[in-house]
Homo-oligomer: A and B are copies of this chain.
Amino acid sequence: MGGRSPSERTRVRREPQRGAYERAEIDAILDAGLVCHLGFVHEGHPFVIPTLYGRSGDEVYVHGSSASRMLRTLKGGVDACLTVTLVDGLVLARSIFNHSINYRSVVVLGRAVEVENAGEKLRALEAFSDRILPRRWTDVRPPTTTELKATSILRLPLDEASAKLRVGPPKDDEEDYAWPVWAGVIPLALRAGEPQADPRLSFDLPPPEVPPRYGGVDAFPATS
């Protein structure tokens, strides 16, 4: 897919035709996802923790309580890996061996840096909010100074990032196409169900419009 060249660490080795290094493609995947999986080493052991994230320009942000083990470890400047995966479909082949998943994923390597600037902290929080629901940011009570202080936000640059994806129908061994079984793709997407109002909601308000799905082509356009 050409373009930007990968670092030695982010180059996709297995099935290199599945690798993509273009920032536009990386950004599109990051903007379509909802949670990331963040990897780091703590006391010699790798940990992988799911968490919300946001992207703003050339940075991805994660956040958490200033007291969390993950945040305290990461802001010590250790190496991290932030991975976002969109599961797009089940690939049903004629043989067990050729079954697969259609997916798009991004891996970002780097060291997280704590965001100290109040304006940048606000922008990062807005990016998280947009990830949950576009425009929610303007509808609810904004963060107080105390809340901002209780929140640690870390920034990871997109300098060393790569995408990997699988699209399309199954690829079977030539002789297996005669196997009399249905084959194809079952599309999957993270879709919203019926909104459940908070039992303590005391106003007669309609629920907000939500994206029909996360991670798909008909996803709500990101506003950040």
- Cβ–Cβ < 8 Å partners of A40 in chain B: 46
B99 and A129: CB pair below 8 A? yes
Q: Is A4 at the interface (CB under 8 A from chain B)? A: no
Query: How far apart are A48's CB and chain B's nearest CB, in angstroms?
Result: 4
Q: Does A115 contact B (CB under 8 A)?
A: no
* Given A14-B67, A82-B48, A140-B202 contact (CB < 8 Å): no
A143 close to B45 (CB less than 8 A): no
Indicate if A192 sits at the interface (CB-CB under 8 A): yes
Q: Contact: B133 with A90, CB < 8 Å?
A: yes
What's the tally of chain A residues with a CB closer than 8 Å to chain B?
96
Give the distance to chain B from A167, nearest Cβ to Cβ, in Å. Answer: 11
Q: Which of A46-105 contact B (CB under 8 A)?
A: 46-50, 52, 64-65, 67-69, 79-83, 85, 87, 89-90, 92-97, 99, 101, 103, 105
Determine the residue in chain B with the shortest Cβ distance to A170: B198
Is A219's beta carbon under 8 Å from chain B?
A: no
In the complex, the answer to whether B182 meets A186 with C-beta atoms within 8 Å is no
A197 to B79, CA, bound (A): 43
User: A residues 159-193 with Cβ under 8 Å of B?
Assistant: 169-170, 172, 176-177, 179-193
Question: Are the C-beta atoms of B50 and A143 separated by less than 8 Å?
Answer: no
The listed residue (B14, B44, B89, B140) touching A96 by CB distance below 8 A is B140
CB-CB under 8 A from A205, the residues of chain B are 180-182
A44 to chain B, nearest CB (A): 7
**B191 engages A81 (CB within 8 Å):** no
A30 within 8 A of B: no
Per-position binary interface string of chain A over residues 1-37, scored 1 when its CB falls under 8 Å from any chain B CB and 0 otherwise: 0000000010001100000000000000000001101
> What is the bound-complex CA distance between A169 and B50, given in angstroms?
20
